[in-house]
Structure 1
Amino acid sequence: MKVKQVDEGKISKYILKFTFEDWENIIDSDVIIVGAGPSGMTAAYYLAKAGLKTVLFERRLSFGGGIGGGAMLFHKIIIESPADEILKELGIRLVKAEEDVYAVDTAEFMAKLASSAIDAGAKFIHGITVDDVIFREEPLKVAGVAVEWTATQMSSLHVDPIFISAKAVVDATGHDAEVISVASRKLPELEISIPGEKSAYSEVAEQQVVDGTGKVAPGLYAAGMAVCEIKGLPRMGPIFGAMVLSGKKVADEIINDIRKS
């Protein structure tokens, strides 16, 4: 087998060419999702499947959020009904633990959820941190985000961001609700309260997270563990049904809101 020879200059040229084609395309998006955890990737799948231009920014160079760590690095997590129906739709294998409760392999869960979202048309960009939100007045709403390379922020360099506009921004950053925290601090007129996450109480937290998922302010939505932070809900540990259902719920709400606008 003979490997085709490619000049180093061409390698760089092609990388830059196709990278900037992608960036030009996502500058004006329908939906920006921040965080490639279970809720963010589930939302990306359903939003892209509905035909919305969806970009997902992840500050790390990987995807999965809290999935990969499983429970204290054990490689299984738990999914309960009705979230199992979404995993079945994505071809993720489930092992029955008891009625309506299933064990899932973390690597398979991460890989197939990401693959499904990408195949549906969502664009994933790694190594990006959302530094700020864009807002518009009259009426006041969130209209996009300001982004930086994560490596730039880790180096403590002062570099201005670039801006990505969108009709909806989803905070799926997890426990710290990073995007909503920025919006609440910089735009107090949005009247966003962040009481903080409570200690574990899985039996009630799963339902409460799903119930609390959705619009936080015009143009700004919460999904997954970010909901616990902004609603003062208990954490739930290595059971992920609410994360998946939260992602679908926020996607459904955004699809409805954009179609009505």
Structure 2
Amino acid sequence: MATTASTLLKSSFAGARLPAAPRAPSSVAVAAPRGAGPICASASSSSPPYDLTSFRFSPIKESVVAREMTRRYMTDMITHADTDVVIVGAGSAGLSCAYELSKDPSVSIAIVEQSVSPGGGAWLGGQLFSAMVVRKPAHRFLDELGVAYDEAEDYVVIKLQDIGMISAVPGMKALDMNTAEDEIVRLTREVVPGMIVTGMEVAEIDGAPRMGPTFGAMMISGQKAAHLALKALGRPNAIDGTAPAASPAWREEFVMSSKDDEVVDA
């Protein structure tokens, strides 16, 4: 059906905000007054509350999970195979484009994003700083979305939300070459059955310092991980002393890290 410019919904580009779409009423859980008993976590008022002290999930087979995920994924693929607009990238531009297009319900849209979270650089503000600068008159788009900001003469500043859930950012610590390489080798290990961490992943999960442009520990850590894998497979390996180490340097590093590992394991 042909659509003329006069029939298109107005957007923030014209300075007018769209009316909110009507929504069907739904029941939601609310905080109960003090002393009123447990809070119902379900959106339905008819569902009984559950006991968090003895909560149990219903049993399920992995094949059922795999089937449901595959079926629904393929259904989505089939549904969106014939699409008017495909947006590659769910960053600020991609999401803004999708938002504007969605005002015309006759347009079918699909967004493809490689990351597990949308937003792109908007999460970082810019160069890892905690604020976003938006020059006027683009702030009208923020008005339409209801995004709060601090206003200046020619621009506005959006302060990214601080939810205060963690006291420190997890992951590797700052650069310390002398400490980092020993730590990377020492902490190379099997963290859970069947999973061995090596290289910079060790620093990520243990909060060890990063090593910068020195790569000796990367090589030795990889060799240690290989012998740990051989050990797990029941093959001759240098961990058990049933096979020679790959090099004298590796042997020296491994002896030192093994002593430290005994302390860690204890």
Same fold (TM over 0.5): no
**Greater fraction strand:** 1
Tell me which of the two structures has the higher relative contact order, counting C-alpha pairs closer than 8 angstroms and 6 or more residues apart. Answer: 1
TM-score range, shorter chain: 0.3 to 0.5
